[in-house]
Structure 1
Amino acid sequence: MTLGIIFNPTAGRGRAGRQRARLEDGLRRRGVPFRLWETPAPATGAGLALRAAAQCDAVIAAGGDGTVHEVSAGLLEGGGNRPLGVLPLGTGNDFARAVGMPPGLEEALDALLAARPACIDHGRLEADTPLGRLNRTFVNGVGIGLDAEVAARAMQHKRLPGVLSYLVAALRAVPRWEAPVVEVTLEPGEDDEQRWSGPLLLLAVGNGPSAGGGFRLTPAACLADGRFDVCRVQAMPLRRVWPLIPAALRGQHGHAPEVALERVRELHIRTMRPVPVHLDGELLTRAAHTVRLHVQPGGLRLLRPCYDSK
């Protein structure tokens, strides 16, 4: 099997670029045929994934969550059913963690080469913004509200390791957050609909259990259950927000009365005041006024390590 490697040298605060030689050497030592494409700039991963899918048997995202997002988007839009693989070289690596990939390069290579194709869910998003309607796919999760604002600010702190960049961003974003009033429609099943409206702190939609480098906002999420897990947090006094941050790192925030954890197939959000939205940890827009999310069960082939992991 020939692997097509989409390699992001800027992932992990630039550390990934220093691992290219080790990656290529590790594949050669294991006798693995491969071709490698290096992303020359942001937003080029999807096009390279399409090129790799036409020439290789599997396409591997070697980078962080942003690289996974771009490569999976390319495969979902026209990758000819080639499976996606992941080598975690980024800052957050939330999707790789959900897949069960170990963090070290040598261990990750061994796990990848022992992996077997499995079908997992992915999501589709439609968002109405002042610039028009945006249509995107995602594999790990979506954040709306403060969650997205923190993700955007964390991009300014990429030199900090992993979850620390998100913690610093949260400390700066939380005191300045003005909660918008939103209307949320949740559809757990075909003939079931639930509604909620009120001032929103954040709404996290998880295909995987964590976001932001390890915040377990949707701790029970599974990549292959045909549902999104939703963490909806209504606005609260600032003094109550701070204790929720370490609790969310442990996935123990669901006890708070302002937090609701739900499982749905589809949801719609409307707001009078535009809100920020992130997609797989990357800021999509700061000005969405409607967002629609749909789960696509079993729509993505993934090379998954051969041990039980969500």
Structure 2
Amino acid sequence: MKKALLLYNPMAGNRQIVSQLDYITERIQGLGYSLQLYRSEAPGAIEKYIKQNVTTDIDLIIISGGDGTINEGINGLFAKELNIPMGIFPLGTANDFATTANIPNTLKEALDVIAANNLRYVDVGKVNDRYFVNVCNMGIFSGVSHVVDLNLKKSFGKLAYYAKGMEELKNYETMNIEIVSKDLTLKGRYVFILIFNGKGAGGFNKIAKQASITDGYLDLVAIKDVEPYEIPALFLKMLQGEYSDDRNVDYIRISKAIIKCRNLDKKFVTDVDGEPGPSFPLEIEVVSNKLRLFLPKKSNIKKTLKLSAYLSSFISYFPF
């Protein structure tokens, strides 16, 4: 019998995975697999477990959690050069990569995707020696997910991130950046830079409308240094993907680039799939032949939750 391994974050989302383990086991066994379980004990535990225990005798890996949990999974697999098919149960607070991939956020439907057996190679990003599935970002807002209180996250979900992000508008530094890719070089002062594999972040899945996880490119969106009072409106425009004609936003597509920061006397935070990222300089590239993922056979694009009104409410509390 083939072997499947489910690695799950028991704290992700509303903890529904914990009460559904018997149902999941029944479904996976029905597909002809025996099922092993690994319960994550702490951030980084899934990556560590894969590195220490997973070998080529596993025929299917399933990751249950959000973008950060998936990130642990791929970094563990790639460190061991394992090419094991992966399924996803997108049950975390942030499931932006799964949303781009059109993977449903209910267990039954996510299991149906695995049962349909539509495997495809998909892109992932790489920054220095770390891989990411959804986004690498730097500058203002980049440290928000590292400092949000766990109890607030449990109570308010994504809104906890937005509230903390609005606090950062009151005190931020600009980055003196040089971006060198195969086709062009950008130089300037920026407050926020995002490099997408998926289409968005934080539940806003229109930021990089043209992004695809099968096109061999990453999409870079950079907000230039502007007056503080301009940032809230510009930020909302970016979240809605309505910045193509805005002179304060640079947008390019890259397969590989080096990003240098010229004012390293300041401490700038980078973020990779919601976890602390490496220090500058950053070597960014897309990797297209490492991750085999179960995808829906037919497009089933989810509606993006409209949260602009919430953000507008938060912004109104901060005078500029």
TM-score if structure 2 supplies the norm length?
Answer: 0.83
Quickly say closer, same or farther: Cα 1:153–1:43, change in 2 above 3 A: same
Match in the other structure for 1:179: 174
Instruction: Give the counterpart letter for 2:18 in structure 1.
Output: R
Extract unaligned runs of 5+ from structure 2.
302-320
Structural RMSD (CA)? 2.2
Other structure's SS at 1:175 match:
coil
- The 2-side partners of 1:213 and 1:186 are apart by 28
- The 1-side partners of 2:157 and 2:120 are apart by 28
Residue deviations 1:61-104 (CA, integer Å, cap 9, x gap):
10111110000111112253101211011001111111111122
- The 2-side partners of 1:57 and 1:252 are apart by 43
State whether structure 2 residue 136 is matched by structure 1 residue 138: no
State whether structure 2 residue 274 is matched by structure 1 residue 281: yes
Q: How far off its partner does 1:27 sit?
A: 3.6
Residue deviations 1:160-217 (CA, integer Å, cap 9, x gap):
5443222112211122111121222132xxxx3x222222111100111111233533
Whether the aligned pair in 2 keeps the contact of 1:119 and 1:302 (CA below 8 Å) is: yes
Match in the other structure for 1:112: 114
Q: How far off its partner does 1:38 sit?
A: 0.6
Match in the other structure for 1:301: 292
Q: Which moved more, 1:169-178 or 1:150-159?
A: 150-159
State whether structure 2 residue 4 is matched by structure 1 residue 3: yes
Instruction: Give the counterpart letter for 2:130 in structure 1.
Output: R
Instruction: Give the counterpart letter for 2:291 in structure 1.
Output: L
Match in the other structure for 1:124: 126
Match in the other structure for 1:80: 82
TM-score if structure 1 supplies the norm length?
Answer: 0.86
Quickly say closer, same or farther: Cα 1:252–1:154, change in 2 above 3 A: farther
Q: How far off its partner does 1:154 sit?
A: 4.0
Quickly say closer, same or farther: Cα 1:276–1:120, change in 2 above 3 A: same
Q: How far off its partner does 1:55 sit?
A: 4.0
Instruction: Give the counterpart letter for 1:301 in structure 2.
Output: R
- The 2-side partners of 1:297 and 1:306 are apart by 20
For residue 149 of structure 1, the aligned residue among 143, 154, 179 is 143
Quickly say closer, same or farther: Cα 1:178–1:233, change in 2 above 3 A: same
- The 2-side partners of 1:215 and 1:163 are apart by 14
Instruction: Give the counterpart letter for 1:3 in structure 2.
Output: A
Match in the other structure for 1:263: 253
Match in the other structure for 1:291: 282
After TM superposition, list the pairs within 5 Å mapping 1:1-310 onto structure 2.
1-12=2-13, 15-16=14-15, 18-29=16-27, 31-32=30-31, 33=33, 34-50=35-51, 51-126=53-128, 135-154=129-148, 157-187=152-182, 192=183, 194-214=184-204, 216-271=206-261, 272-273=263-264, 274-285=267-278, 288-308=279-299
Q: Percent identity?
A: 26
Whether the aligned pair in 1 keeps the contact of 2:141 and 2:168 (CA below 8 Å) is: no
Quickly say closer, same or farther: Cα 1:207–1:309, change in 2 above 3 A: farther
More strand as a share of residues: 1
Residue deviations 1:100-131 (CA, integer Å, cap 9, x gap):
111222222222322421111122212xxxxx
- The 2-side partners of 1:102 and 1:268 are apart by 35
* Number of equivalences: 292
Whether the aligned pair in 2 keeps the contact of 1:226 and 1:298 (CA below 8 Å) is: no
Match in the other structure for 1:130: none
Match in the other structure for 2:308: none
